[in-house]
Amino acid sequence: MNDTAHTSTGTPAGTRPADRSAPGPSDAEIAELGQQLRVDAVRAADAAGSGHPTSSMSAADLMAVLLARHLRYDFDRPGHPGNDHLILSKGHASPLLYAAYKAAGAIDDEELLTFRTLGSRLEGHPTPRLPWVDVATGSLGQGLPIGVGVALSAKRLEHLPYRTWVLCGDSELAEGSVWEAFEQAGIEGLDNLTAILDINRLGQRGPTRHGWDLGAYARRIRAFGWHTVEVDGHDIDAVDEAMATARTTRGAPTAIIARTRKGRGVAAVEDREGMHGKPLPDAEAAIRELGGVRSSRVHVRRPPDAQEPELDERPDAPLPDYPPGEDVATRTAFGEALAALGSRRGDVVVLDGEVGDSTKAELFSKEHPERYIECYIAEQQLIGTAVGLDVRGWTPYACTFAAFLTRAHDFLRMAAISRSGIKVVGSHAGVAIGEDGPSQMALEDLAMMRAIHGSTVLYPCDANQTAKLVAALADRPGIGYLRTTRGDTPVIYGPEEDFPVGGSKTLRSHPDDQVTLIAAGVTLHQALTAADRLADEGIRARVIDLYSVKPVDTQALRRAAQETGRFVTVEDHHPEGGLADAVLESFGNGHPMPRLTRLAVHSMPGSATSAEQLAAAGIDADSVVAAARTLIGNG
């Protein structure tokens, strides 16, 4: 196959003639810029002794055209509301991105050569330590899903003219998350989104699935409602025309499918297997072959003036409250509180995984339909869209069944690296959901969410506590997680109670307490029943509602350990990584460990009623009573 790719614009009815009239550098000057980007990618990787220069070299001409003629960005004002957004989904090609920043004057050559060194902002894969990087990339298949969220914000929420450009590699097109993104973008008609696909044929260990068959990619992408353009990715004029067409296409997003050569411009590595993720074997010779070191500056056009949208807010809108003694599911209280929070704060946006009638997130949609986004059964795209909205300053609440969030764990992990502040709500947690059986029971979610860097994990037990925590989560930095329960539970707190994040509530306490029962959510009610029964037997038990699972109330736990010496933890979760582990992590550094009995879901559940499930798992009131008796009886 020769180097010239077939070009197929397939111009849809909504496409205007390509706008290429704006002045700018010549094709020859842009070709020179592409060579400069290659040289700097080679230099950066050589200085570091590691990196991915060949993956950077394939996309250098694509980046050069984008920078010189189509990107609208003010590098002096990265927060400018009119700035375009450039997401490098193939994050391993970070040398290309950093070389582009140097060409734009955002960094200097000295900083470029700190690539991958201790303390450098130029990490092996981009992160928002750099103010021009929206999100961390490097776990492949995430840039386009997040880009959909950014573009969706511009089109549906902000009504601003900025564009979102996502540079993807061909290997990551095997990821299912990419196709979730293609579908959502097509359904939403995101004509302000352009995916630039660097089809260089070679992945990490050999050829990619479709190699240079651009048509294979185009057919699939068009099926999701996209406009596609197939080009030779090293033909400056063709790439320019494709990007101009993308900017003027209306009603559909555009995918520029560019045939490129990995390691372009250096014969020793160009289109050769076994060169992925390595500095070039002879960097000096490669730089000479590419024409030598250059220090040209490219003028990236600044965006037009734009203003952030005005938010409709009623700070005095009350949260719902519930009379003690009433039975209310925490998922219901969540939905009602979220709708009220949406009235208080115009920055709150809710995303649903097509289960809003069950999570009760749909109550928000009835009050604020313009800020309710349906992502359907696509949990990776659900979180990716939320991260994209967070980039634009919204406060997203992404809601689905807690069990299904496991599919999106990598997106959540990467969201933390992106310094994202998204809020995640998982309902139908634990065996307490009853007859639906184990496929629907989240029994790993507390461990999963606690393990995320900087996360907040909350597990309310009643409606008033839920309402307060929904609101509190909005102001927490980092990833926030709220776990809700399917069935009705008694309201035990009055609406005047406060529940600070990092706190707890001690509901039973006496100077003669012999044991402390620690629970949260549905098992808190079992612990209260157990404490009352133990009291009838003459055994005093303290009860702590550990609603803040992370951060945990270390002070209250250490005091209880000192005063009672014995803990029984009870949780509707597997024993690994959940409530008990959060409790144990409060000790050490000279603080004596209490004697501990951990009650959790050790067996594989089946289908049964909620009460039967709690009993079978050994986390009901009877089990708590028995555990406390044994612990006390053993000294």
Residue 122's beta-bridge partner residues? none
d(CA 38, CA 33): 9
DSSP state of 372: E
Reading the block at residue 148, the tokens are 């959909």
From the list 430, 378, 387, 434, the residue with the least C-alpha distance to 405 is 378
DSSP state of 443: S
* Catalytic choice (175, 188, 379, 571): 379
Q: What are phi and psi for residue 198, nearest 5 degrees?
A: -90, 95
Reading the block at residue 270, the tokens are 């160009």
The angle formed by the CA atoms of residues 329, 381 and 386, to the nearest 5 degrees, is 65
Looking only at the bridges linking them, the beta strands covering 488-490 and 327-329 are antiparallel
Residue 286's beta-bridge partner residues? none
Q: Residue 140: helix, strand or coil by DSSP? A: coil
Reading the block at residue 218, the tokens are 């185009």
Kindly state the helix (H) or strand (E) to which residue 541 belongs, with its residue range: strand 541-545
DSSP state of 68: I
172 is known as an active-site residue: no
Q: Is the dihedral of CA 589, 591, 594, 596 positive or negative?
A: negative
Cis peptide before 304 (omega within 30 of 0): no
Contact yes or no for 269/46 (Cβ under 8 A):
no
From the list 62, 47, 200, the residue with the least C-alpha distance to 122 is 47
Kindly state the helix (H) or strand (E) to which residue 612 belongs, with its residue range: helix 610-617
Contact yes or no for 358/399 (Cβ under 8 A):
no
Reading the block at residue 248, the tokens are 């003027």
Contact yes or no for 608/434 (Cβ under 8 A):
yes
Q: Residue 404: helix, strand or coil by DSSP? A: helix
Distances 573 to 3, 147, 252, 619 between C-alpha atoms, Å:
56, 34, 44, 10
Reading the block at residue 101, the tokens are 């920043």
The residues annotated as belonging to the active site are 379
